[in-house]
Amino acid sequence: MVNGRDNRKILNEKIALRIKTLREKIEPNQSKFAEAHLMDRQIINRWESTTDGRGISIHSIKKFCSMIDISLKEFFDCELFSG
């Protein structure tokens, strides 16, 4: 049985993977993507990372979605989040 902590970890990993996948479709290079959006590469790296255990806020997900011109619904409407 998966507990709440494990569920959060799994969700954080899925979100990080989704961000990375979408970002790589636009620009495979983190630094170039960050530069194009006037951001520090470390922010993008943190969004795509699962090692710190902090996860990402819904505000940051919304900001990312705005950067790549998709809605939050489109972000979460994928096979990764079904089930």
- Residue 38 is part of a domain; what is its CATH number? 1.10.260.40
- Rounded to whole angstroms, the Cα distance separating 32 from 75 reads 22
Dump strand ranges (E) for 38-79: none
- 32-72: per-residue pLDDT in tens? 999 999 999 999 999 999 887 788 999 999 999 999 999 99
Q: Residue 2: what pLDDT?
A: 66
Residue 63: the pLDDT is: 97
Number of domains in the chain: 1
CA angle 49, 8, 3 (to 5 degrees): 140
Residues 6+ apart with CB under 8 A from 40: 34
pTM, whole model, 2 decimals?
A: 0.91
- Mean pLDDT over 17-41 rounds to 97
Domain that holds residue 34: 4-81
3 pLDDT more than 90: no
